[in-house]
């Protein structure tokens, strides 16, 4: 199932705009590549922010406690 697309109006620095369009042109970009690039960048930024937030929740745990949590999580996925 294809996701619905929405229009988004953004403003970026002129230098960033030129660098991005130059990069895409060097890659042989086609129509829609700019939108795909921006969407991927937003997804990666959201992932990074979420990961940083998750890491804050584990700051007080020891390495051994984290390794146990990871091992338990892996085991639970293998048993599913």
pLDDT tens-digit profile of 40-52? 999 999 999 999 9
How high is the pLDDT of residue 40? Answer: 95
Q: pLDDT exceeding 90 applies to what percent of the chain?
A: 76
Dihedral (CA of 44, 32, 13, 7) sign:
negative
Mean pLDDT of 46-63: 92
The tens digit of pLDDT for each residue in 9-26 reads: 999 999 999 999 999 999
In this predicted structure, the answer to whether residue 2 has a pLDDT above a threshold of 60 is yes
- Domain ranges in the chain are 30-78
The answer to whether the predicted template modeling score (pTM) of the entire model surpasses 0.85 is no
């Amino acid at each position: 199932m294809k996701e619905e697309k929405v229009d988004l109006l953004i403003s970026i620095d002129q230098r960033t705009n030129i660098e991005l369009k130059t990069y895409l042109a060097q890659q042989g970009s086609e129509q829609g590549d700019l939108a795909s690039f921006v969407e991927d960048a937003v997804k990666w930024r959201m992932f990074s922010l979420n990961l940083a937030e998750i890491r804050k929740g584990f700051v007080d745990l020891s390495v051994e406690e984290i390794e146990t949590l990871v091992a338990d999580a892996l085991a639970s996925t293998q048993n599913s």
